[in-house]
Structure 1
Amino acid sequence: MATKKKTAKKDTSKKGFRKFIFWFWGLFLFGILSVVFIFLLASWGAFGEMPDLRELENPDTNLASEIISADGETLGKFYLRENRTRVKYDDLPENLVKALIATEDERFYDHSGIDARGTLRAFAFLGSKGGASTITQQLARQLFVGVREDSKFKAITQKIKEWVIAVRLERNYTKEEIITMYFNTYDFGNLAVGIRSASRIYFGKEPKDLNIEESAMLVGMFQNSSLYNPRRNVKGVTNRRNIVLLQMFKNEYITKEVKDSLQALPITLNYSPESHNSGIATYFRGYLQQYMKDWIKENPKEDGEKYNLYLDGLKIYTTIDSRMQTYAEEAVKAHMVDLQTEFDRQNNPKTNKTSPFIRLSQKQVTHTLNVSMVQSERWRHMMYDLGKSKEEIKKSFQEKIPMRVFSWEGEIDTIMTPYDSIRYYKKFLRTGMMSMEPQTGHIKAWVGGINYKHFKFDMVKQGKRQVGSTFKPFVYTSAVDQLHYAPCYEVPDVQHCIPANKYGNLKPWCPDNSNGEFTGEMMSLSAALANSVNSVTATLMDQIGPAPVVNLAHKMGIESEIPEYPSIALGTPDISLYEMVGAYGTFANMGVYIKPVVVTRIEDKNGTVLYEYKPESADVLSPDVAYTMLEMMKGVVKHGSGGRLRHSSQANRIDYKRVMTGYPYALTNPIAGKTGTTQNQSDGWFMGIVPNLVTGVWVGGEDRSIHFRTITYGQGAAMALPIWGLYMKKCYTNEELGISKEDFEKPEEMNIDLTCGGRVQPDDLLQDGNPDDTVPEEQQEELPDGI
């Protein structure tokens, strides 16, 4: 009986064991099938839309369009919300990749998207010893899943989707490609989306140039870029960076000595925001934005869809040289600070009740300010966007509000009415500067104003002002080209009158010289151009007629309307700096006009060339005529109002008079140029030419009634020429730019006698010439510049 009982017990235990094994494997298989089924449900979209394979091949990431300079630097980007620019894996430094793996996914190279050990550990310890998200899962969440939901059920379904997408990503991409996408996708804050933007914004360098501690800081931000923002939370960012360095040590990527030394370093930023209002070439970028919009309208994709400048990641290769652009902006600031200081001293509101306006009545000032109010962006927004009445808008302009205003010492937080702010901004003198390579038409520098954030209007191409005596070379060129005059051809310096109706002018035109005097003596064309003598210019205009001069100017690239009246000889037409520089380039390019160009190539995000520039040129002048004009304009710098470029005296920044009349340039190389000043000193110009660079500068007020009282400070030689001199000195210090110091190339065939048959050299005929080719400094201050 005992044996039977034992046998029965054994049978029962065997059955129980079999049942246990059956249930064990059943539950195990059920669990496996359930996981597989859940994965299938997720892949079928049961838990929300899943990306298909095409989306995995082309993740929907918005890419900023990049503006690239001629020397390979990024000038800026066009984007809406995400400032993202892709980099390749080869552009990522090894220390950056190691920092990421050591911190975020130590077994990255050993799993296929899901880290089993990490997942089991997370379940076992409920996440207290770290999560289980791999780099691939984090990428899946960034690309396709989004922010974690608060609901537990939704959070679990999101996690399942992450697993499914992570596995798909691992099947479709290499580990290197996954790492690259991860770095290109993350938002580092401060408009820095992707590692390239983050590297440039926080450290002012490309990713490949990041050192170990910089890489560690950026990798540390992956945990929470809002919390670990190096501009707001230096202590937290330092601690987080040091954790990354510790992880690199634990994974044997760096030694203990390196870890300890780097952890002791403070966070050092070179914060360089990439907003539309900051950085270099802001005015140029503003112009380029409209240029690209126009190009996009005319150049759709193959399927007819239009490119998106802000999302499609276009690469726009420009002619701007970042070094020359920087020099131009530095030159503008250096001179305009001093010029504005002197202007403010002369136009103190305490002594001039209508300041900064000159010779206007209070009624005229009020009218001018009211016109500006109606034309303001604030007025437009309130009327058309908010639907406010005129009375409501006017009232709002008289209410004081907090605002941040521009000053040369930095932005100022203040409280004033919008109406008062209009007058405040009126007092600032404006400027425009453009520099171009005449042989190619490539624009190398473009400065449209003093501060793009506060003064959006671009004075390179958008703005047009009277050009003054810088128009005279077109008259003299016509005389040389059509009347076959030589530079030493002589004309009497007497008042010349063109009678009424001869060229459509309604009354006689009898211009004075700018100093109100006529010598009565014979004067060579070279001397007359060098000293902007109006009487000689009027005589030439009468002999040629306005129509040929206008025709020549248009052939040289002036597109603005030029009325066919004699007075244009003295520069009454409104012309842009862009047009003037292009036209002057014809002289330096042996008579061939090359249309100025800013974009050489456009590529899509994959590097496919969408556009390549083809130069537009026209033969306008014979080489000997162009060379003759250069020789004559060299006289402006040797003996005329541009002669201060030869000075070497150092300016005292405190002595305003010396600041404006003594300049530390000492340029000895051949320079052709022309100054220009308009009525009441409202506009100051200087056009300067060396063999491979033509640069134009304009300075003036927003309104023509804003100007210096006297020609001492208001002439082009004082307002605009200093910027040219400072810019060229900076360019010459950088030999890599290759800016020429040589003389202009003389054509092999010259049909114009520059020596008057050997009788005399043109320079000997120049008025007020000196043996050392300079004018004494005490005379320079009062040299008149033609009106």
Structure 2
Amino acid sequence: MGVNNKKRFLKIFLKTTALLLLAVTGFCVSVYAGLWGKLPDVNDLKELKQAQASLVLDENDELIGKYFVFDRQSVKYKELPQNLIDALIATEDVRFYEHSGVDMRSLGRVFFKTILLSDESSGGGSTITTQLVKNLYGRKNHGVFSMPVNKVKEAITARRIERIFPKEDIITLYFNTVPFSDNTFGIESASQKFFDCSTSELSLSQAATLVGTLKASHSYNPRLYPERSQFRRDVVLQQMVKYNFITEDEANKVKGEKLELAYQYFDSNEGLAPYFREQVRREAGVLVSKIKKEDGSVYDLYKDGLRIYTTLNARMQEYAEDSMEEHMAKLQQQFEQAYGKRKPWKNKQIVSEAVSKLPEYQRLKQKGLKQDAIYDSLSIKKKMKVFDWKKEDELRDMSTLDSISHYLKLLNTGFVALDPHSGAVKAYVGGIDFQSYKYDHVFQSKRQVGSTFKPFVYTAALENGMEPCTYFSLKAITYEGEEDWTPENASKNEDEDITVKYALKKALSNSINTIAVKVMDETGVEAVISQARKMGIETDLPQVPSLALGTAEMSLMELASAYTGFVNKGVSVKPYLIERVEDREGNILWEYKPKIESMEPAYSDQTRESILEMLKATVNEGTAIRIRNRYGLKNDMAGKTGTTQNNKDGWFVAVTPDLVMASWVGNDDHRIGFSNTAIGQGANSALPTVALFLKRINADTDFQSISNARFDRPSDEVIAALDCEPLREETFFERIFDKEVSKKKFGEKKKKGIFSFLKKKNKEEEEKEN
């Protein structure tokens, strides 16, 4: 090549290089000037705040759930273990402490090796700081210029961050914003989700595993690909050895350990207490929407990193869910076997009505398809996952019609445990499976409460002057009205034994229907309704004789709340789920303030003690006796079973000195009940969940104060008032002069016969003698 040609080539090269540099400089200036979108300035960077998950905590500050757009919660630098920091630097940015946001040496390596020599093993040129910028602001689409524009933006912003924040703050910001596997953002969320521990508790193996996922969060997801994730962990460990953060021996020791996860679900359908968390979400959302920030905006439950401290005890909740599952799996089997071939969930009318409510049915109908064509379409089998008690994970071949019948046959349930002195909810099971049944059977569902209403009737009777040793016969009476109604007892033997009279304690503990109606008739239905209102019942109560047998519908929570007064000095407490709400800095935004002290008792202490003694008898010798003889529970306990007409609903409420528990079981379709009383009665359908729960509580030494709690001894006056024979035969005079009419108008007071006169005279003479 001649001298002139060399000069000409050099001249062209210099001009080209100059133009290229000018173009690159101009491009960088255009990015800096904001022509490709505004860059965050110093003030923006100083106010760095990312959307954070709001945390749901139990009474012991144990994390039980989150509400989030991005699953993120923050930690401080001092909470980051050194092994975690070292793993990040060794893997992602070994010269982190040497550069100012942009590692020029790495960029040079990328340019020459990756671009010019096509050596992909040379790695990328990004730093922890530039990755932080990407985490904070994401990347925008600028067409063919997307990569250079975003890279320059990240470099400029990284330099600004390095001038504002010390290296420790950058590391902290990075770990609080970096995305991990399973839509998890930030190291604390990842630690909790994959290893059920806080960041500060991460082992070397766990730290290396999480840092290893940053290269490709899906490909190295330890839940989905444990072997691949373990291999990546070992690569991180080797990088730490290479840069002298750990020794070869330390690395080899960890490499010999199998990767162990303790995966925690924090989505709305999974994990502990999903129904409780959903109710808390509703209530907390309303609370925070009324609280203003300094700038006048309201708090966002999904973005502002609030801490919601609840009343729930996580261990009690585990016991409640385990007890429910243990019982309901067996009961479901009993339920299905008892029907044999007469399965109501296969009934054409019931199934067709359920099908007609399906969105898919409505869609096909709007397309003009006829009934037969719609059913043909819904009969096509496909792979689907359905809930059942076998807990099988594999998909099944089922049609939409098959799945309708499957879910129609499943019994559902609700369970709640309350502190009767404060109203704090300690355990809460809203149904058998939240993913399949969003309907909450603690707060939302209202069903007839059956015989669990009878204590309200007896409480009203005592408050209105009836003596505990008042006797009533079993004989049925037909009450006249729009339709004549004759209450019947559950046992035919009781109906036949009409010459025997029962004292109130015996009548309530054995849940005698005919006597409950007579007690209410004698007391007055208005007085019973008024008494129930004082005990916290807000549900509409019909003024009919069948009210005594629990034909009113109410929620499980409302019923449980009404029973708390029996061990809380006559005051029925209002249940609550949230203790307080704090912002991300720990400032209290809202706090629950109970008003128990200012509430008036709903009844006298003498009435309270008397009813409690009657409910103790229900457990010790009445309809709930199986809690003693079958489950062997020795706790001080009172309670009441309930079964509704045609065995549609089973109920049980248990009262201990420091815990009130209520359970309901039934089918969500009111047309499908239990086939017989033996299975459907509250003692068989609802009581076992409470019994199994208490057995678990008794076995846990941390709950000894609850297990060993004892009722106060009733007063001498109450003991004396209840000191009478539970049963007695009708006297000669009663049979002649005081026969109960077989038919009467409800609410019409019975005329006093000669026996009533003699009884009054005898009582006056006894009082004179005393």
Q: TM-score range by the shorter chain?
A: 0.7 to 0.9
1:92 to 80, 95, 113: 80
Distance of 1:396 and 1:220 partners within structure 2: 48
Distance of 2:471 and 2:513 partners within structure 1: 12
Residue 459 in 1 paired to residue 424 in 2? no
Q: CA deviation at 1:634?
A: 0.8
- Residue 699 of structure 2 aligns with an amino acid whose one-letter code is T
Would you say the 8 A contact 2:564–2:660 is kept in 1?
yes
SS in 1 for 2:719: coil
Distance of 1:495 and 1:278 partners within structure 2: 53
1:708 to 674, 679, 698: 674
Would you say the 8 A contact 2:308–2:581 is kept in 1?
yes
Distance of 1:150 and 1:235 partners within structure 2: 38
Residue 514 in 1 paired to residue 504 in 2? no
- Residue 219 of structure 1 aligns with an amino acid whose one-letter code is V
Distance of 1:766 and 1:585 partners within structure 2: 29
Match of 2:38 in 1: 49
- Residue 725 of structure 1 aligns with an amino acid whose one-letter code is A
Match of 2:264 in 1: 272
Between 1:275-284 and 1:293-302, the stretch displaced more is 293-302
Match of 2:134 in 1: 141
- Residue 70 of structure 1 aligns with an amino acid whose one-letter code is E
Distance of 1:118 and 1:592 partners within structure 2: 72
Q: CA deviation at 1:491?
A: 1.1
2:384 to 400, 403, 407: 403
Instruction: List aligned pairs for 1:333-482, cutoff 5 A.
Output: 333-348=325-340, 351-352=341-342, 354-356=343-345, 365-376=347-358, 378=360, 396-411=377-392, 412-482=394-464
SS in 2 for 1:572: coil
Q: CA deviation at 1:438?
A: 1.0
Residue 227 in 1 paired to residue 207 in 2? no
Match of 1:204 in 2: 196
Q: CA deviation at 1:677?
A: 0.8
Distance of 1:451 and 1:139 partners within structure 2: 40
- Cα distance, 1:569–1:214 mapped onto 2, change above 3 Å: same
Between 1:710-719 and 1:251-260, the stretch displaced more is 251-260
Would you say the 8 A contact 2:474–2:502 is kept in 1?
no
- Cα distance, 1:54–1:548 mapped onto 2, change above 3 Å: farther
Match of 2:467 in 1: 485
Match of 2:54 in 1: 65
- Cα distance, 1:264–1:494 mapped onto 2, change above 3 Å: closer
Match of 1:314 in 2: 306
Would you say the 8 A contact 2:456–2:532 is kept in 1?
yes
Number of positions where the alignment pairs a residue of Structure 1 with one of Structure 2? 702
Match of 2:177 in 1: 185
Distance of 2:311 and 2:363 partners within structure 1: 36
Distance of 2:395 and 2:349 partners within structure 1: 28
- Residue 475 of structure 2 aligns with an amino acid whose one-letter code is Q
Instruction: List aligned pairs for 1:724-739, cutoff 5 A.
Output: 724-737=690-703, 738-739=705-706
Q: CA deviation at 1:264?
A: 2.2
CA-atom RMSD, angstroms? 3.1
Would you say the 8 A contact 1:51–1:144 is kept in 2?
no
Match of 1:755 in 2: 720
Match of 1:741 in 2: 708
Match of 2:726 in 1: 765
Write out per-residue CA displacement over residues 399-447 of structure 1, whole angstroms, 9 at most, x where no aligned residue.
4443221111124522333233212111111111011111111111111
Q: CA deviation at 1:766?
A: 7.7
Q: CA deviation at 1:279?
A: 0.5
1:607 to 576, 580, 586: 586
SS in 2 for 1:405: coil
Write out per-residue CA displacement over residues 248-304 of structure 1, whole angstroms, 9 at most, x where no aligned residue.
223333222121121122322233332221111111222233323433554455655
- Residue 545 of structure 2 aligns with an amino acid whose one-letter code is P
Distance of 1:484 and 1:268 partners within structure 2: 66
Q: CA deviation at 1:41?
A: 4.5
1:238 to 191, 212, 230: 230
- Cα distance, 1:766–1:160 mapped onto 2, change above 3 Å: farther
Q: CA deviation at 1:118?
A: 3.2
Match of 1:5 in 2: none
Distance of 2:198 and 2:719 partners within structure 1: 54
Residue 559 in 1 paired to residue 551 in 2? no
Distance of 1:479 and 1:751 partners within structure 2: 20
Q: CA deviation at 1:35?
A: 8.9
What's the TM-score once normalised by structure 1's chain length? 0.83
Distance of 1:627 and 1:93 partners within structure 2: 58
Between 1:689-698 and 1:665-674, the stretch displaced more is 665-674
Give unmatched runs, 5+ long, in structure 2. 1-13, 729-770
Distance of 1:274 and 1:142 partners within structure 2: 22
Would you say the 8 A contact 1:690–1:741 is kept in 2?
no
Distance of 2:352 and 2:485 partners within structure 1: 35
- Residue 321 of structure 1 aligns with an amino acid whose one-letter code is N
Match of 1:784 in 2: none
Match of 2:768 in 1: none
Match of 2:745 in 1: none
Match of 2:550 in 1: 571
SS in 2 for 1:542: helix
- Cα distance, 1:321–1:379 mapped onto 2, change above 3 Å: farther
Distance of 1:147 and 1:324 partners within structure 2: 48
Would you say the 8 A contact 2:52–2:74 is kept in 1?
yes
SS in 1 for 2:410: coil
Write out per-residue CA displacement over residues 639-685 of structure 1, whole angstroms, 9 at most, x where no aligned residue.
012111122xxxxxxxxxxxxxxx3x321121011111111221111
Q: CA deviation at 1:529?
A: 1.2
Distance of 1:259 and 1:480 partners within structure 2: 76
Match of 2:68 in 1: 79
SS in 2 for 1:610: strand
- Residue 200 of structure 2 aligns with an amino acid whose one-letter code is K
- Cα distance, 1:58–1:396 mapped onto 2, change above 3 Å: farther
Q: CA deviation at 1:745?
A: 3.0
